[in-house]
Amino acid sequence: MKRSINLVIALALVGLISSCTVVRQGEVGVKRTLGKIKPDPLMEGIKGYNPFVTRIIKVPVRTTNIEVRSPLPSKEGLTVQSDVSILYRVVGEQAPRIIEKLGANYEQIVILPVFRSAIADVSSKYFAKDMHTGQRAEIEKSIKEMMMAQLKDRGIVVESVLMKSIVLPAGLTKAIEDKLEAEQDAQRMQFVLDKERQEAQRRVIEAEGIRDAQKIINEGLTPMLIQFKSIEAFNKLSTSNNSKVIITSGNAPLMLSADGIGNK
């Protein structure tokens, strides 16, 4: 008798545990009873239900990341390989409708097909080299906007589309490297030319300054000034203790030292 009671209690506990579930943070519960979806999502917490007629489907509403390796057709007809991350989230209030219309496997049913269509449409408008340059962000934004146009009414929000590990065709990679190297050489040459041009300009300015200075000096050397400077020089020579012979007409003096005369 006691064993029967224990068995009944154990079965009751198992039934009680199996009729409860926990909806955790970052997810909502969708209740389906006898195949019919309840329109209101279940928020986080412990939820009881009848396991014989009801099932609670848990749908994550936090940001989810899907990693996809996808070939990208380019404008010139090449194929670029890339790993792409799709960051999306489900709007909690619309989770019951998503389960009802798409089922629990909504990623495979709608998100990935929409992504493959959008990425093919967008990438075919760009050259392969653009996917490896600063235009990558523009491509990612266009893919996201195209996906959102098709998914927003289904209760799915695409937060970001990130292109990673882009692998260009081998020949194109070499061509891009050669082009970048040529551009760097051209920039170095332009730097040298600019430096030489600046140096030439500096020399021209220096020569113009010397020319202007000489012009000013020449314009200031009048005959009267030259004669005055000669008189000043004679006066200074007359006060010198050294013996000198000065031969002059009063305009251009020729000075000979006493030693020079003696040697002759």
Note the pLDDT tens digit of each residue in 92-110. 999 999 999 998 899 999 9
Q: Which residues of 194-224 are buried (b: 16+ CB within 10 A; e: fewer)?
A: eeeeeeeeeeeeeeeeeeeeeeeeeeeeeee
Residue 56 lies in a domain: no
Look at the block and give the residue holding tokens 């579930």: 21
Position 16 scores a pLDDT of: 43
Q: Are residues 108 and 141 in the same domain?
A: yes
Hey, how many other C-beta atoms are within 10 angstroms of the C-beta on 80? 23
Q: Are residues 209 and 241 in the same domain?
A: no
Residue numbers in the chain where pLDDT is lower than 50:
8, 11-17, 254-258, 260-264
Please give the order of strands across the beta sheet that includes 36-37.
Answer: 36-37, 27-33, 54-60
| CA-closest candidate to residue 51, choices 13, 20, 24 | 20
Do residues 58 and 79 touch, judged by C-beta distance below 8 A? no
Residue 43 lies in a domain: no
Residue-range definition of the domain harbouring residue 233: 223-263
Residue 13 lies in a domain: no
| CA-closest candidate to residue 68, choices 123, 104, 107, 122 | 107
Residue 35 lies in a domain: no
Residue 155 lies in a domain: yes
